[in-house]
Structure formats: C-alpha cells, structure tokens
Amino acid sequence: MLKSISVPDLDTHLLAGIREEVDSRIRIGLIELLPDHAGPAAVEPFTELIKTGEPELAMAMIDAGHRMSPETFAPFNRRIYASSFPLDVKAHAVGSLYARDPARFGPLIEAWLMSEDTSTRSLGIIAAGVCRDMRFADRLKILLSMSDDDATLLLVLDSLCTINVTGLNPLVVLRLGDPDPSMRRAVLDVYQIEDEASLKNVIPLLGDDSEDIAGLAREKIRTADYQNSLRLVKSLSLPQKRVREALFNLLGAASRRGPAGVAGGPSG
C-alpha cells in the first residue's frame, strides 16, 4: 500500500525503520517496500545487518538488492558469499553476482546444476532462478523431467517461472492434480493456456480447495491469449458448484469486454 502512496523521502523513512526495527518480519516487509532508486543508500544498512546472521533477512536483502541494482550490491553479495550463512543463502548471492560477472559465476552455477548431490544441485537451481538467465533453462527442464524429489521439483518450477521459460506443459500437466497444493500452485504458475486442451486442464482448478490456486486459475483463464468462451459454456455441465460459479463470472466479464472477449476458438 505504501508504494501506491506518494510520500516525500519514502526511501529515507523506510531505511530508518529498517535500521531501528527489531522484529525481523517487519524488517523484511520494509525491505520489500524499498523503491528501486534506494539502492546506493541501502548498501550500508544492509551490510550492517549481515551481522544479525538471520538467513531469511539476508535473503530478503539479497533479493531487494538484486532488484535495485546487482552492480551496486555486488560488494554486499560478496560479503554474504564469504560469510558463514547457510549455503542456500549464498546461492541467492551467487545468482545476483552472476548478473555482474557471468564469466566467473556462470561455471559455478552450471557445476552446481550438474552435481549428482541433491543438496548441491539445489544451490544451482536457486542461483539460476535469481539471475534469470535463459542459459540455464535447458538444464532446469532436464531436472524437471528427471527428478522424483518433490522438494527439488518445487525449486525447479519456481526458477523456471522466474526465468519465464515456456513450453513446459507436456512436462507438468500430470501434476496439475497433485495432492500437494504447493505443487499444484507451482505447476499452474508455469502452465500456459494455449489451446482448448490446455484450457480444459485448467478449468477444474477453478474449484480448487485452495482459494489461492482457484484465483490463479481464474486469472490465467481471463488473461490468456487463447480465449474460447464456447469451451467455458460447455464446462458449465461440470458438477462442482464453485467451478460453475467461476465460469459464470468469467463469461460475464468476457461479455462485458465485447466481441473480442467472447470469441470462441475451434471446438471439438
């Protein structure tokens, strides 16, 4: 909400709060609110907070610094990398450092991704997601198709999502109905509605027990480049009340958008 309000010197007030606050959760919330131009002023307080040794706080600072300026925060990230923080925190730092020096950190991330050790491989997955470089996409897709470890799969899906890799539907479609809501959500994040078959696969998630997942399904159907109102109408025969209600809402919104919103694709 603060981001939408014009407050003079907002970044100065936020940085003062970050220094003074003792509750890590509030600190993290303030860090996430920092505007992108606050980078140079944030380096010093961020560096001071390294000594807290709190992994979640460190990752929040790394992510914010990467958003603001990987170049400006490179010294900060090198301190994190040389520290005693857990390896997953260091992997976040490496992902940001890669943006400044891919020749040095690219081979490290690739080595992690190729490791036979699951824990080491996870470091590469995390770093690849932070740096968002498409050069790691093929390896992540291989891990997605080969891994039978759900924790690894969730990391891979998150990184593929942040890199914005496409063409994943065949690799993930069977997991749309996974019993674990975390997995369903992660799969839906990368799943694309591109034809009638993929639309049909997403429609049942409108009735998901998780409102978060149901809401994401609604948004993906509403904003997809592929629109097929006829398929939505046909799906009104599905038994779940929540699915039908969501379909009615989507059809109503489409009709208000006009002919372009209600045009149906080929149906079979």
Domain boundary among 85, 100, 127: 85
Domain shared by 42 and 137, yes or no: no
Domain boundary among 41, 60, 85: 85
Q: How many domains does the chain have?
A: 3
246 vs 96: CA distance, rounded Å: 40
Residue 15 has pLDDT above 50, yes or no: yes
Give the global pTM. Answer: 0.88
Q: What is the pLDDT of residues 34-93, one digit of tens each?
A: 999 999 999 999 999 999 999 999 999 999 999 999 999 999 999 999 999 999 999 999
Domain shared by 171 and 265, yes or no: yes
User: Which one-letter DSSP state was computed for residue 207?
Assistant: G
Domain shared by 52 and 109, yes or no: no
Percentage with pLDDT > 70 across the chain: 93
Q: Is 119 helix (H, G, I), strand (E, B) or coil?
A: helix
Residue 1, pLDDT score: 47
5-9, 10-14, 31-35, 127-131: range with lowest mean pLDDT: 5-9
Task: State the CATH number of the domain containing residue 124.
Answer: 1.25.10
208 backbone dihedrals φ, ψ, rounded to 5°: -60, 145
Domain shared by 51 and 115, yes or no: no
Residue 256, pLDDT score: 77
Domain boundary among 85, 105, 121: 85
Residue 9, pLDDT score: 81
Percentage with pLDDT > 90 across the chain: 89
Residue 157 has pLDDT above 80, yes or no: yes
Question: Range of 110's domain?
Answer: 92-164
User: Which one-letter DSSP state was computed for residue 203?
Assistant: G
Structure tokens at 183: 């997995």
Domain shared by 4 and 75, yes or no: yes
Domain shared by 221 and 203, yes or no: yes
Residue 96 has pLDDT above 70, yes or no: yes
54 backbone dihedrals φ, ψ, rounded to 5°: -90, 115
Residue 268 has pLDDT above 50, yes or no: no
Domain shared by 103 and 36, yes or no: no
Domain shared by 78 and 113, yes or no: no
Nearest Cα to Cα of residue 47 among 34, 58, 38, 36 = 58
Q: Write the CB contacts of 256 (distance below 8 Å, at least 6 apart in sequence).
A: none
Residue 262 has pLDDT above 70, yes or no: no
Outline where the chain has alpha helix (H).
10-20, 24-33, 39-49, 55-68, 74-81, 87-100, 102-114, 118-131, 137-146, 150-163, 169-172, 181-190, 196-202, 211-223, 229-234, 241-257, 259-262
